[in-house]
Amino acid sequence: MKNFFLSVTLYILKIGLKFIYFFIKLFTKTKNKVTMLSRQSNNINIDFDLIKEELEKINISNENNSIRINNKKLQIKVLCKKIPNRLLGKISYCFYMLKCMYHIANSKVCIIDGYNIAISVLKHKKSLKVIQIWHAMGAIKKFGYQVLDREEGSNSKVAKIMKMHANYDLITCTSEATRKTYSEAFNTDINKIEVLGMPRIDYILGKDNKINEKLQQLYNDYPRLKEKKNIVYVPTFRKNETIDIDKITEEINEEKYNLIIRLHPLDKSKVDSKYIIDNKYSTFDLIKMADYVITDYSAIAFEIATLNKPLFFYLYDIDKYENSRGLNVNLKKEMESSTKQNIKDIIEIIENNTYNYEELKKFREKYVQTVDTNNTERIVEYVKKHIQK
């Protein structure tokens, strides 16, 4: 019965949005405009920020400092807002969606980094191109259509009603191996997926010195990070579960190492404040600073590999996780020497300085083929070609 009412509610929502969008399209003119949409956070993320900066370089007029393509001013709109948990917040989000629909309707290009209701369920103008850059550099764990009706996946009926991941013209990724995974997860033609990279790679590799300036601020705020080796623990989010942090903290020799723990924003696990770094410093900043990084099924592993940092997979619940979610990467095979179910085994490798960098190199070469600082440019070049038509 619950699923029936949910389905009816979603159908009504979809019909209402289509009705409103029909008139929005009717009375709005397509502009020389790029709109970026995200519901991953309420603030602009590093990928959107770098794309925005690169777009702003296009045909800048020295006379009036305006941005022009074919003598038309390029408009750039960035809209970032998470779906609130509370009912009133969800109601207000519906009005926010109307704002998004207006900007989608008068844009030539829309760039998104996750599932977007308005993009997927509505019928858009033929002139609109939608680029999905996703919010991760790859997918160690299965997602999207790969996990329908599984414990940590979406309901297949809901996915069908809401046309999950429909209407994409281009999906970017960082490797040929990821193309196949994305084709399954997005349920789309593999030819729509191109190895263009991700803007964040430019950032973590130090383009324009931005991350190095951020690290200097980090060291000024936390001088202890310069005094010892730093171990950063970045676990993935586990639905309806918390992480036993004590298993990690009990094994780290704090006389010798700083332990920094960065949880997923949705994770409710309790962590002592001494292991926390202010959120004004991103996870990318932390892994750039780290001497060793421990994760599990998080896609942050690909950023760590890009930086050639000693990367460890602490998979204490791998059997359970494979049953509830499933994996795209066989970590026990591909990263055998650094994939452990006991944290003591990881600490032993760190202590004995016996990390297998050759294994890490093979992992990086397979999953991150865009290890350069031209990722943002490649994506913007695609945008530019469409705008100039």
Could you tell me which of 77, 93, 94 has the C-alpha nearest to residue 36? 77
pLDDT of the residue at 152? 84
- CB contact set of 83 (below 8 Å; sequence gap of 6+): 39, 89, 90, 93
Dihedrals phi, psi of 359, to nearest 5 degrees = -65, -40
pLDDT tens string 242-299: 888 999 999 999 999 999 999 988 888 999 999 999 999 999 999 999 999 999 999 9
Please tell me the pTM assigned to this model: 0.94
Find the length of the chain.
389
pLDDT of the residue at 71? 63
Do 340 and 346 form a contact (C-beta atoms < 8 A)? yes
Could you tell me which of 202, 231, 217 has the C-alpha nearest to residue 280? 217
d(CA 185, CA 93): 26
Dihedrals phi, psi of 74, to nearest 5 degrees = -85, 120
pLDDT of residue 342 exceeding 90, the answer is: yes
The secondary structure of 138-197 as a DSSP string is --SB--GGGGTTSTTS--HHHHHHTTTT-S-SEEEES-HHHHHHHHHHTT--GGGEEE--
Give the CB-side neighbour count of residue 212, counting CA atoms within 13 A. Answer: 6
Helix (H) or strand (E) holding 105: helix 87-105
pLDDT tens string 42-66: 999 999 999 999 999 886 654 455 5
pLDDT of the residue at 238? 85
- Angle at CA of residue 138, ends 137 and 144, nearest 5°: 120
For range 151-167, the mean pLDDT: 93
pLDDT of the residue at 90? 85
Domains of the chain: 22-202+373-387 (3.40.50.11820), 207-367 (3.40.50.12580)
pLDDT of the residue at 62? 44
pLDDT of the residue at 186? 98
Could you tell me which of 230, 334, 357 has the C-alpha nearest to residue 290? 230
Hey, which residues does 76 pair with through a beta bridge?
Answer: 34
The token pair at 144 is 């999207």
d(CA 162, CA 159): 5
Do 34 and 109 form a contact (C-beta atoms < 8 A)? yes
Q: DSSP letter at 145?
A: G
Could you tell me which of 96, 159, 104, 153 has the C-alpha nearest to residue 130? 104
Residue 335: CB atoms within 10 Å = 20
pLDDT tens string 182-213: 999 999 999 999 999 999 999 999 999 999 99
